[in-house]
Structure 1
Amino acid sequence: MSVEFLWGDRARPTRGPKPTMSLESIADAAIVLADAEGLAALSMQRVAADLGFTKMSLYRYLPGKAELVALMVERAIGEPPELPASGWREGLVAWSELLFAAYLRHPWTVEATVGRRHLGPNELGWMECALARFGADSQLTGAERLDAIAVLAGHARMLAQQSAAQLGEAEMTRAMGEVMQVHGDRFPHLTAAMLQTAAEGGQNQAFTFGLHRILDGLETLLSRRS
C-alpha cells in the first residue's frame, strides 16, 4: 500500500462530491477516540461516525486502518524535538524524556509503534535527531548507535506502558505490601528493600534511574574505546 500521504501532499479526490474532510481532521478525530478508549475501539466506521460521515467516505482519503494509525502516530508524536546544544548524553536525556512524555500523552502509541507498520517522516525524524547526537566521529558503530536508540526508546515505551496500565510503582508497592505482611519472612531481601524505600523514599524513579544507567553503560564503553 502507498504511504505517499505520509510523506507529501496527497492529491485531492477527483471523483465524487467535493472533499469535506482533511487527513488532519480525520487523524485528530481518531486520536481523540484512541486517547479515550484505546486502539481496540478504533475503526474506520467509528471514526467516520464521530465525524458525521459514512465509513466509505473515509476510504476516499485513506486506504484502511493501518494507514490511519500511521497517520495518527505522525500527528501524535509530532515533529522531531529541538534538543539543547550540549553533549551527547545531555541531548539523549532530553530526547528520551520527550519521547516518554509523548507516550504518556497518547498511551496507544506504545502499541502502535511496534511491529511491521508504515513509517512517516516524523517517526524517522525522531530517530535521526537522536542519532545525530553521537556525531559522525562517534566511537560506536552504526549498528551500536541504532541499538542504543532502540534501547532508550524501549525503556521509555516499557515505563509508559506500565503507567498506562495503571501499574505504577506506588500501586505495585501497595499490592506487594499486603502480601508481604503475611508472607514477608519468605522474601527477606525484598522485605528489606521495601522497608528501606518506605523509610528513605526514592520510589517512582524507575524511568530516570534506568535512563541514566543505560547512558552510564554507553559512557563507559565510549571511554574504553577512546
Structure 2
Amino acid sequence: MTDADLPELPRGIALAWGVAASPQRGPKREMSVERIVDAAVELADAEGIGAVSMAAVAAKLGFTPMSLYRYVSAKDDLLLLMQEQATGLPSEAHLEADGWRARLLALYQEQILLYLRHPWMLSLPITGSPVTPNSSAWLDAALSALDGTPLTEEERIAVALSVTGSARWCGIVQAGYTEQVRVTGLSPEEVALRESALFDRVITAEEFPALRRAVDAGVFLSEADPFRFGLERVLDGVEGYIAGLDRGAPHVSTADWTGLDPAELAGDRKLKDAQKAVREAEKALRVARKLERQARKDAAERLARGRSGS
C-alpha cells in the first residue's frame, strides 16, 4: 500500500497528532487549538460535559464562536481533543513495578484516578480503537508490560482490554458515588448506608433469594473492593494460562465474537416489536409469580391460624 492509498486522517485525529494545517487568518497570537482545548476541559471539569459547547468555550476565551471554528471545525473534534488532553500519558511509575502483573495493576489504578479527575470522559462514546497519541500510549504501555510472556499479540491485546475495561467500569461506579456525595452532601459512608437501606426495603428472599442473602451479609456496606477482586481473578487466569504455555500447552483460540442476529444489528422494526412484546410478557409473568407467592404465603398463614384456633 502506497501513501496515496492510505486513508486521510480525520481533522480531529490530525489535530491530535499535530499534523493539521493551522488557519491562515484569525487571532493567531491570542488563539490556538491548545487554548481552546484547555478552556473546554476546564469547563467540563467544573460543570460537566453538558456545559461544553463551541459558544460556551468561545465566551470563556473572550472570542466569537466563528473564531473557534477556524481552529476546531466541529464539536466532535473538540470532544476528541479534550479526551486526548485529559487522558495524558501514563506515568513512568508503572515501569518500576516488578513483573507484568504488577505493571498492569499500576496502570489500572492510574486509569481509575484519571476517570475520577475527569468523570465527564466516561460519558463520551467509544467509537473505535484509540488512534490519538496519548490513548495509544496507554495501550502501548499495557502491551509492553506483557513483553517477555509467551502470549501472542492477540492475547496481549485481550489482556490489555480486560484491564482497561475493568478500570473504566470501576471509574463509572466510583464517579457515580462521588457525584452522589457532592449532590446530597452526605458522606460516602452515609451514601452506602442509604443504598443498603433501600435494598433492604425492596429485596425479598422470595423474589430475589441470592440478592437477599448478599444484602443480609452486608455486601453494600463492605469496604472490600469488588472491582479489584474481579481483576485480580482475571489476572490469576492469565497467569495460569501463561504457566500452561510455558509447560507446552497450546494457545487457545477464541475467534468467535458474541453472535448478533443481522436483524438485531440493522434495527429491524418487526424484531424490535417482537422483543418488546417478549419483555412485556416476561414482566407480566414476574408480577403473576409474585402474586402467586403472596397468595401461598397468605394461605399458609390462614391455615396456621386455623390450626391454632382449633
Give the TM bin, normalised by the shorter chain: 0.7 to 0.9
Q: Which runs of 5+ in 2 are unaligned?
A: 1-9, 181-187, 247-310
Structure 2 residue 32 is matched with structure 1 residue 15 = no
2:107 corresponding residue in structure 1:
95
How many residues were matched structurally? 222
Q: State the distance in 2 between where 1:209 and 1:15 align.
A: 55
Secondary structure, counterpart of 1:165 in structure 2: helix
Alignment equivalent of 1:121, drawn from 111, 133, 140: 133
Structure 2 residue 191 is matched with structure 1 residue 173 = no
Q: Say if 1:17 and 1:189 are closer, same or farther in 2 by CA, change over 3 A.
A: closer
Q: Say if 1:18 and 1:134 are closer, same or farther in 2 by CA, change over 3 A.
A: closer
Given the two structures, how large is their TM-score scaled by the length of structure 1? 0.85
Q: State the distance in 1 between where 2:62 and 2:28 align.
A: 16
Q: Say if 1:198 and 1:165 are closer, same or farther in 2 by CA, change over 3 A.
A: closer
Contact 1:70 1:119 in 2 (8 A): no
Bigger Rg, which one: 2
Map 1:196-207; keep pairs closer than 5 Å. Answer: 196-197=217-218, 202-203=222-223, 205-207=225-227
Q: Give the AA of the match of 2:29.
A: P
Q: State the distance in 1 between where 2:151 and 2:21 align.
A: 42
Give the deviation of 1:116 after TM superposition. Answer: 4.0
Secondary structure, counterpart of 1:139 in structure 2: coil
Structure 2 residue 54 is matched with structure 1 residue 44 = yes
Structure 2 residue 158 is matched with structure 1 residue 138 = no
Give the deviation of 1:38 after TM superposition. Answer: 2.8
Q: Give the AA of the match of 2:152.
A: T
1:149 corresponding residue in structure 2:
160
Contact 2:143 2:160 in 1 (8 A): yes
Q: State the distance in 2 between where 1:132 and 1:175 align.
A: 45
Given the two structures, how large is their TM-score scaled by the length of structure 2? 0.64
2:174 corresponding residue in structure 1:
163
Contact 2:115 2:175 in 1 (8 A): no
Q: State the distance in 1 between where 2:171 and 2:20 align.
A: 33
Q: Say if 1:17 and 1:198 are closer, same or farther in 2 by CA, change over 3 A.
A: closer
Q: CA RMSD in A?
A: 2.6
Q: Give the AA of the match of 1:174.
A: A
Contact 1:67 1:118 in 2 (8 A): no
1:225 corresponding residue in structure 2:
245
Q: Which runs of 5+ in 1 are unaligned?
A: none
Give the deviation of 1:158 after TM superposition. Answer: 1.4
Q: Deviations over 1:159-198 (max 9, x none)?
A: 2112333379926433212224xx3454443333333336
Q: State the distance in 2 between where 1:141 and 1:117 align.
A: 19
Q: State the distance in 1 between where 2:106 and 2:129 align.
A: 26
Q: Say if 1:96 and 1:56 are closer, same or farther in 2 by CA, change over 3 A.
A: same
Contact 1:81 1:126 in 2 (8 A): no
Identity of counterpart residues, as a percentage?
39
Contact 1:12 1:19 in 2 (8 A): no
